[in-house]
């Protein structure tokens, strides 16, 4: 772990310059607004180790998949998340010497991510090689009040010298991706324009022909007064900037305010891009930095009013949960149903695509409880609109008759993951899509979604499972071979319990949905049946046969479900048998050794027990938890939250708290030594779940909120809010008591430890001795 960041309730603080952790900090201090985002690169030049990263939602490049062999159905490309034009750049020279923190003595450095108000701030004092000493303060943000605008205030003080300050604010589209093959570049410059205070670059992606216009305008102030200046225009292919020379005397301060707009062809026609960008830049410039920042702060305060979790008595835990919530809202706002929640968000480019099963399994519960119901619905509609692509994906693998296999990784509905054991075998992702429909309706009561969209998706998924299984004469049961479960440290196994269980459940849920839709909307049902050529009785009878005879591996002696048929043949060790030099095993062991081991990357059987806990008694869950958790190395960011929730249910308070801290501070403390590649955005929703579903014990049963709260021993209190069916509940948990306030317009029934409480609008109940 790397513990160089200060603990603070509302801020992430790096106090002191840590160039050895440069990339980690660039990830952690990233900013975004759901439309575009930016790693915490420096505005001025930096010749040290860095990963330059600007990203625009929905923009990608289909990089041709290259393997030494080819299989039918293999994805034709890997969807790269493209590094987009750099809008933050401000080159600074002092009497011809570059301002560069890598070349000089850093006497003071402090970087702060202010999560309460939504901005990044950096201050430093640098003794340059020439002996000049400068003090710099830089503040920037990506506006969530106006998601096409970003702004920077860059202030420089000449501490002990006088001279010529050369300032060059610029836009640069001549950038590369870290994982580019042979340093290939993915942007074509279409137009570069520079004016006295302005710079615009219009660029187009290769192959996909997405167009992005990035524009900036700046002003310069000295000693509190705006300056008039002449600028030297710089126009090159994929680059535009303005160079200004300013005379600065000892003790004087020069401030550059840079306003930017990032506009893409995702939202505007090609002929509108440049003019729209100019208009947005002009409006931002006229508003001014202070007003834009005030709007940003107000917008974030509204977000926090809806979604904040307050923890008293544990600053590390408090900082971590706010960091996770902050990054989630920077990544996805629900404004655009074409977008989704990328695993790295706007913080890095390691993973291709923008959508994994993480969205349905982990992110949906967060947005259901903290945002309007339409946000969760849009996440489901996103998948509905990709249904035909899912059917095409299945057809490439040999499935037919409308069977749908949703991709493991996608940006447009097509599978774009380039590892065969994931693309072909990790098919449990289909189950997460179906489960999300169930989870959404259970939470919102929006049964109309089944009629409008849900049933068609469920039929496609059920058709896939019905074709993917086969009947075993030996077992006289249906089985499923050649799969990878959630534990990706096992590939090509037979009868992964979780995959088999969720496949069976999908078919059962599809049958229930059919019955409901036919009864509630018979005309729509009939039209759907005809459109998708659904032979109901033939197909559903086959589903019922599979459901009744589906093999689910288990061991009666141990009383546990088997992760797969051969699991007990492995050498059954625990994580305690590993040395520090072994961890993480995915960076220190060969893949062969990992696959042969018993060690588990993330919840597998336990993922199923988390999803379907009401299907099992507590002792069954406990036996499986006690068996599998000691073998789990938690080297997936998605692992600790599930274990935290189950541990809380089983009254394993210390384990629940341990797992909470691991998921909450995964990136802040770099548990898995991979934060430099970007943050683990989708798993951050699991941090929220660890508190609300874990410590708060929140479940929805029979259309009502149920709570079974407990509080870690070292916390004084914690509180959270949840939206639920038109109302808002504020839950405050202390040592031995809980208070629940109904902030909605009507009375609401809530269960606490299985006891019913009716809470009137704007009223509170307090319960002792929880």
pLDDT recorded at residue 375: 95
Q: How confident is the model at residue 63 (pLDDT cuts 50, 70, 90)?
A: confident
* φ/ψ (deg, to 5) at 722: -135, 140
Quick: pLDDT tens for 206-238. Answer: 999 999 999 999 999 998 999 999 999 999 999
Helices 373-384 + 455-468 axis angle, to 10: 50
Query: Which has the closest alpha carbon to 311: 714, 666, 646, 698?
Result: 714
Query: Which has the closest alpha carbon to 738: 752, 727, 724?
Result: 752
**Range from 62-71, 483-492, 630-639 carrying the lowest mean pLDDT:** 62-71
pLDDT recorded at residue 418: 78
> Does residue 65 have a pLDDT over 90?
no
pLDDT recorded at residue 72: 78
Distance CA 707, CA 539 (A): 40
> Does residue 498 have a pLDDT over 70?
yes
Quick: pLDDT tens for 585-614. Answer: 999 999 999 999 999 999 999 999 999 999
> Does residue 144 have a pLDDT over 70?
yes
Distance CA 376, CA 332 (A): 11
Quick: pLDDT tens for 274-315. Answer: 999 999 999 999 999 999 999 999 999 999 999 999 999 999
444 burial level (CB within 10 Å; 0-12, 13-18, 19+): buried
Q: How confident is the model at residue 770 (pLDDT cuts 50, 70, 90)?
A: confident
686 burial level (CB within 10 Å; 0-12, 13-18, 19+): buried
Q: Give me the residue label for tokens 């609109």.
A: 385
Q: How confident is the model at residue 421 (pLDDT cuts 50, 70, 90)?
A: confident
DSSP conformation letters of 609-676 = HHHTGGGS-HHHHHHHHHHHGGGB---STTHHHHHHHHHHHTT-HHHHHHHHHHHHTTTTTTTTS-GG
pLDDT recorded at residue 204: 98
- The 10 Å Cβ neighbour count of residue 527 is 11
The residue-averaged pLDDT of 469-485 equals 98
The residue-averaged pLDDT of 415-441 equals 93
> Does residue 181 have a pLDDT over 80?
no
Distance CA 187, CA 209 (A): 9
The sign of the dihedral angle between the CA atoms of 325, 331, 333, 334 is negative
Catalytic, out of 488, 490, 539, 635: 488
> Does residue 119 have a pLDDT over 90?
yes
The sign of the dihedral angle between the CA atoms of 231, 234, 235, 241 is negative
Range 37-51 burial, b when 16+ CB lie within 10 A, else e: bbbbbbbbbbeeebb
Q: How confident is the model at residue 67 (pLDDT cuts 50, 70, 90)?
A: low
The residue-averaged pLDDT of 245-249 equals 97
Query: Which has the closest alpha carbon to 26: 344, 258, 363?
Result: 344
> Does residue 66 have a pLDDT over 70?
no
Say if residues 82 and 167 touch (Cβ distance below 8 Å). no
> Does residue 69 have a pLDDT over 70?
no
The residue-averaged pLDDT of 349-372 equals 91
Say if residues 320 and 664 touch (Cβ distance below 8 Å). yes
The residue-averaged pLDDT of 396-405 equals 96
Query: Which has the closest alpha carbon to 347: 681, 680, 115, 678?
Result: 678
pLDDT recorded at residue 394: 97
Stated pTM of the model = 0.97
pLDDT recorded at residue 419: 80
**Cα dihedral: 77, 81, 84, 88 (round 10):** -160
Q: How confident is the model at residue 178 (pLDDT cuts 50, 70, 90)?
A: confident
Q: Catalytic site residue 488?
A: yes
Mean pLDDT of the chain: 96
> Does residue 179 have a pLDDT over 90?
no
Q: How confident is the model at residue 548 (pLDDT cuts 50, 70, 90)?
A: very high
Q: How confident is the model at residue 70 (pLDDT cuts 50, 70, 90)?
A: low
């Amino acid at each position: 772990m790397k513990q160089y960041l200060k603990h603070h309730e509302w801020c992430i603080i790096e106090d002191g310059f840590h160039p050895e952790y440069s990339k980690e900090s660039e990830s952690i201090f990233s900013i975004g607004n759901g439309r575009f985002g930016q790693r915490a690169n420096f505005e001025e030049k930096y010749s040290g180790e860095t990963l330059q990263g600007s990203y625009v939602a929905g923009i990608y490049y289909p990089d041709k998949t290259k393997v030494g062999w080819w299989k039918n159905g293999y994805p034709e490309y890997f969807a790269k998340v493209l590094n987009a034009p750099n809008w933050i750049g401000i080159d600074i020279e002092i009497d011809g010497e570059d301002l560069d923190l890598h070349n000089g003595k850093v006497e003071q450095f402090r970087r702060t991510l202010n999560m309460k108000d939504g901005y990044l701030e950096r201050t430093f004092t640098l003794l340059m090689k020439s002996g000049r000493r400068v003090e710099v303060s830089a503040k920037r943000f990506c506006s969530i009040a106006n998601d096409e605008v970003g702004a920077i205030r860059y202030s420089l003080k000449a501490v002990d010298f006088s001279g010529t300050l050369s300032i060059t604010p610029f836009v640069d589209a001549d950038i590369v991706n870290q994982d580019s093959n042979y340093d290939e570049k993915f942007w074509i410059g279409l137009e570069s324009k520079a004016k006295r205070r302005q710079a615009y670059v219009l660029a187009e992606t290769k192959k996909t022909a997405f167009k992005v216009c990035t524009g900036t305008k700046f002003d310069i102030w000295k000693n509190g007064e705006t300056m008039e200046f002449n600028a030297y225009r710089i126009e090159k292919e994929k680059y535009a900037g303005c160079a200004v020379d300013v005379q600065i005397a000892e003790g004087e301060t020069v401030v550059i305010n840079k306003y930017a707009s990032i506009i893409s062809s995702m939202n505007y026609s090609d002929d509108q891009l440049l003019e729209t960008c100019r208009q947005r830049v002009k409006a931002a410039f006229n508003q001014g930095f202070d007003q834009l920042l005030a709007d940003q702060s107000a917008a974030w305060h509204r977000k926090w009013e809806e979604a904040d979790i307050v923890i008293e008595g544990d600053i590390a835990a408090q900082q971590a949960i706010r960091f996770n919530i902050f990054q989630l809202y920077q990544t996805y706002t629900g404004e655009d149903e074409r977008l989704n929640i990328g695993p790295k968000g706007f913080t890095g480019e390691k993973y291709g695509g923008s959508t994994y099963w993480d969205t349905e399994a982990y992110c949906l519960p967060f947005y259901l409880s903290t945002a309007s119901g339409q946000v969760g619905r849009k996440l489901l509609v996103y998948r509905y609109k990709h249904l035909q692509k899912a059917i095409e994906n299945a057809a490439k693998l040999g499935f037919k008759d409308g069977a749908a296999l949703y991709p493991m990784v996608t940006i447009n509905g097509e599978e774009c993951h380039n590892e065969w054991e994931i693309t072909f075998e990790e098919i449990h992702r289909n189950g997460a899509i179906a489960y999300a429909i169930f989870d959404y309706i259970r939470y919102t009561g929006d049964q109309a979604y089944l009629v409008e969209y849900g049933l068609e998706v469920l039929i496609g998924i059920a058709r896939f499972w019905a074709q993917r299984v086969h009947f075993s004469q030996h077992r006289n049961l249906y089985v499923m071979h050649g799969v990878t479960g959630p534990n990706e440290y096992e590939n090509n196994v037979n009868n992964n319990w979780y995959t088999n269980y969720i496949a069976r459940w999908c078919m059962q849920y599809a049958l229930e949905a059919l019955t409901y839709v036919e009864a509630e909307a018979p005309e729509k049902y009939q039209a759907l049946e005809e459109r998708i050529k659904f032979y109901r009785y033939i197909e559903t009878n086959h589903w019922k046969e599979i459901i009744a005879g589906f093999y689910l591996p288990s061991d009666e002696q141990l009383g546990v479900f088997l992760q797969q048929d051969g699991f007990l043949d492995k050498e059954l060790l625990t994580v305690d048998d590993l040395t520090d030099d072994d961890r993480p095993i995915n960076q220190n062991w060969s893949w062969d050794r990992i696959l042969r081991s018993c060690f588990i990357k993330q919840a597998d059987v336990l993922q199923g027990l988390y999803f379907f806990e009401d299907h099992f008694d507590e002792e069954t869950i406990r036996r499986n938890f006690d068996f599998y958790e000691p073998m789990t190395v938690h080297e997936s960011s998605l692992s600790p939250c599930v274990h935290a929730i189950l541990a809380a249910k089983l009254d394993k308070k210390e384990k629940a708290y341990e797992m909470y801290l691991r998921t909450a501070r995964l990136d802040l403390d770099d548990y898995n030594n991979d934060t430099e590649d970007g943050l683990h955005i989708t798993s951050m929703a699991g941090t929220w779940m660890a508190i609300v579903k874990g410590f708060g014990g929140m479940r929805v049963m029979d259309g009502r909120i149920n709570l079974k709260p407990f509080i870690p021993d070292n916390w004084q209190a914690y509180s959270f809010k949840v939206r639920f069916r038109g109302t808002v509940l504020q839950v405050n948990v202390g040592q031995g008591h809980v208070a629940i306030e109904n902030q909605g317009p009507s009375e609401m029934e809530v269960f606490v430890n299985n006891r019913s409480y009716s809470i009137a609008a704007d009223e509170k109940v307090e319960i002792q001795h929880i």
